[in-house]
DNA sequence: TGTAATTCGATCAAAAATAATCATTATTAA
DNA sequence: TTAATAATGATTATTTTTGATCGAATTACA
């Protein structure tokens, strides 16, 4: 059994149980404990797992290089349902913006096989769509490792050079009063994408609706379609402001 | 049995089993193990499969990060030695360009802990440096999934907006006559980075020196320093053209 | 806290696989 | 046909992988 095979097995077991012991692994792979120990060290060096005494643990998904692809993610079902609904509106030949953030990221799985062009500043989106039917335009600028996204004035300039039929955006909070972001950088990108698109989709799971955040960066007028699993009386108010609301259920 | 026939058979078996052993293949094809080994290396160079000890694995079966642990990459030692040498010249506070390509990628491991700014169009470089001391500026434009890099006119415009103290570039081939690239896109980016840098480092393992490729995109005048493990009489000629040559040994 | 039991890291040796070299055979070009 | 070129195979030297062993470090637990 080669190193690669063992590594695969180890990662599988890690995925299933969250942690593994060297004894187990040695038994399952037929290799000696010394070898397993060596495997674990090289894998740990590549940040594929955390080394513990006598075994290994799954790398915290926060630290993993590229992944919102994490099933422990909050509200994942809501986000998936929202994105599935939104993806129905995406047609062959479309040019779309995809915002950074964990919600918009979930759109990827539903558009992989569509022949469209995606303009994005989200590194996970790029990684996810890299070997798919989608052609990608990556927005350039300063990389923010925490958000796994590109920001800054160069990014802004880049965005306004393009034009898309649809933009799929996320925010930190949305109320009747307006849209809220966690940072100016994000707000700036979101605004720029909106200004360059014919139709603006706002993807918000229920936890975002009615919530405010530190920066109110715009009112609701720029939003055309709100896709959400929120279902309170406020929905009517959004609609009265001229926003089409796609309500999804889980 | 010709190479093509064998390659076909190998891919079939790979498709069926996910992995193959050299012994098997030698038996099934009637070729010697030496020949199979040669077949596998060329196929691995074309990314048709992953080379393992004693055999090969299907590319798609491999979990991506494991492939980084794969030492089957061609000329890896030369590339590492070259990059280690080149990295010695990088000082705190530097702003540097890093080209796409497998050679320049190897620079990452040696600069992770330096407080510098890296401007790059290479997605693997971004992933590698994302959670390090390095701050990253990602060049925007069209993503080429095969090269895992960003190209196009937008990329060019992005590059020329910045200025760096050093550029670490790769080429497909280098001779006394000039520099050769595999595509115009690459050449365009390489040229742009060179034009915006004070000092241009060319990173070339021995297989690149003396080799030409389909596009000669410039003469040698733009190169300041050639870092290579090549050690033939041609080195003197490079030096006579005013290029400083850093010779590395393995 | 101190002691026993694990686990780890380093070093070594054996086995397997690979790379390098050279001779031989097939293929192609002149 | 003959010479040049490329592909293959055999042989040898080198490298890689693996497992064993032993002192040091870490953990468990009495």
**Which pLDDT tens digit goes with each residue over B218-250?**
999 999 999 998 877 888 999 999 999 998 876
| Whether the predicted pLDDT of B62 surpasses 80 | no
User: Which residue would you say has higher pLDDT here, A63 or B240?
Assistant: B240
Q: Strand D: list positions under 7 Å from protein Cβ.
A: 7-11, 16-21, 26-28
Q: What is the average pLDDT score of chain A? A: 91
Please, what sign has the CA dihedral across residues A213, A163, B99, B243?
negative
Give the pLDDT of residue B89: 96
| Separation of A56 CA and C1 C1' (Å) | 30
Phi (first) and psi of residue B140, to 5 degrees: -95, 160
Closest Cβ–Cβ partner in A130, A141, A155 for B143 = A130
Question: Is the pLDDT reported for residue A65 higher than 90?
Answer: no
Query: Are B69 and A130 within 8 A, CB to CB?
Result: no
Nearest nucleotide (C1') to alpha carbon of B37: C18
Q: At A120, is the pLDDT very low, low, confident or very high (cuts 50, 70, 90)? A: very high
- Identify the weakest region by mean pLDDT among A134-138, B73-77, B89-93: B73-77
Phi, psi of B53 (to 5 degrees): -70, 120
Residue A247: how many CB atoms within 10 A of its CB?
A: 13
Average pLDDT over chain B, rounded to an integer: 89
**B155: exposed, middle or buried (Cβ count in 10 Å: 0-12, 13-18, 19+):** buried
What pLDDT is recorded for position B71? 47
Q: Cα(B139)–Cα(B121) distance, rounded to whole angstroms?
A: 5
Binned at pLDDT 50, 70 and 90, residue A68 comes out as low
Assess whether A52 (CB) lies less than 7 A from strand C. Answer: yes
Query: From CA B219, how far away is CA B222, in angstroms rounded?
Result: 7
Question: Is B130–A143 a contact, with Cβ atoms under 8 angstroms apart?
Answer: yes
Chain A contact set for B142 (CB, 8 A): 135-138
Which domains are assigned to chain A? Answer: 3-58 (1.10.10.10), 76-247 (3.40.50.10470)
Tell me the shortest Cα–Cα distance from B214 to chain A, in angstroms: 26
State, as a whole number of angstroms, the distance between the CA of A109 and the C1' of D18.
41
Q: What is the token pair recorded at A39?
A: 């495997």
- For B166-211, write each residue's pLDDT tens digit: 999 999 889 999 999 988 999 999 999 999 999 999 999 887 888 8
Check if residue B53 sits with its Cβ under 7 angstroms from strand C: yes
DSSP letter for A139, please.
P
User: CB distance B140–A155 less than 8 Å?
Assistant: yes
Is the CB of B101 less than 7 A from some atom of nucleic acid strand C?
no
Q: What percent of chain B has pLDDT over 70?
A: 94
pLDDT digits (tens, 9 = 90+) for A96-110: 999 999 999 999 999
pLDDT value for B212? 81
pLDDT at residue B209 in the model = 86
Confidence (pLDDT) at B70: 47
> What pLDDT was estimated at residue B207?
79
pLDDT at position B73: 57
Chain B residues in contact with A127 (beta carbon < 8 A): 123, 127
pLDDT tens digit string along A14-43? 888 989 999 999 999 999 999 999 999 998
Paired residues of A39 in beta bridges: none
pLDDT of residue A63: 44
Structure tokens at B77: 């030692």
Beta-sheet pairing, A179-181 with A215-218: antiparallel
B41: nearest nucleotide, CA–C1' criterion: C18
Mean pLDDT on A106-132? 94
Residues of B in Cβ contact (< 8 Å) with A135: 142-143
A-interface mutation test, from B53, B55, B69, most A Cβ less than 10 A away? B69
State, as a whole number of angstroms, the distance between the CA of A36 and the C1' of C9.
14
Write down the pLDDT at residue B63.
55
Residue A64: predicted pLDDT: 47
> Could you check: is the Cβ of residue B52 within 7 Å of any atom of nucleic acid strand C?
yes
DSSP class of residue B220 equals G
Query: Between chain A and chain B, how many beta carbons pairs sit less than 8 Å apart?
Result: 108
The predicted-structure confidence for A195-213, as pLDDT tens digits, reads as follows 999 999 999 999 999 999 9
Contact of A60 with A87, CB cutoff 8 Å: no
- Terminal Cα-to-Cα distance of chain B (whole angstroms): 37
CB B86 within 8 A of CB B62: no
| Strand D contacted by A5 CB (< 7 A) | no
| Predicted local confidence at residue A1, as pLDDT | 87
């Amino acid at each position: 059994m080669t190193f690669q095979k063992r590594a695969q097995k180890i990662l599988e077991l890690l995925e299933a149980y969250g942690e593994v012991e060297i004894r187990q692994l040695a038994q399952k792979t037929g290799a000696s404990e010394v070898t397993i120990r060596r495997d674990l060290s090289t894998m740990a060096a590549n940040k594929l797992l955390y080394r513990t005494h006598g075994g290994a643990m799954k790398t915290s998904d926060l630290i993993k290089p590229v992944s919102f692809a994490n099933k422990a993610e909050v509200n994942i079902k809501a986000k998936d349902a929202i994105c599935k609904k939104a993806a129905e509106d995406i047609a062959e030949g479309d040019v779309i913006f995809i915002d950074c953030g964990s919600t918009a990221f979930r759109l990827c799985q539903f558009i992989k096989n569509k022949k469209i062009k995606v303009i994005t500043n989200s590194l996970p989106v790029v990684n996810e769509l890299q070997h798919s039917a989608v052609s990608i335009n990556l927005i350039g600028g300063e990389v923010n490792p925490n958000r796994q996204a590109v920001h800054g004035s160069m990014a802004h300039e880049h965005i306004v050079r393009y034009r898309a039929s649809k933009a799929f955006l996320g925010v930190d909070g949305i109320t009747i009063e307006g849209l809220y972001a966690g940072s100016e950088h994000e707000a700036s990108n979101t605004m720029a994408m909106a200004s360059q698109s014919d139709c603006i989709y706002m993807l918000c799971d229920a936890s975002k609706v009615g919530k405010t955040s530190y920066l109110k960066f715009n009112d609701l007028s720029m939003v055309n379609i709100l896709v959400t699993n929120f279902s309170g009386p406020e929905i009517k108010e959004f609609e009265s402001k001229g926003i089409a609301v796609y309500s999804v259920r889980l």
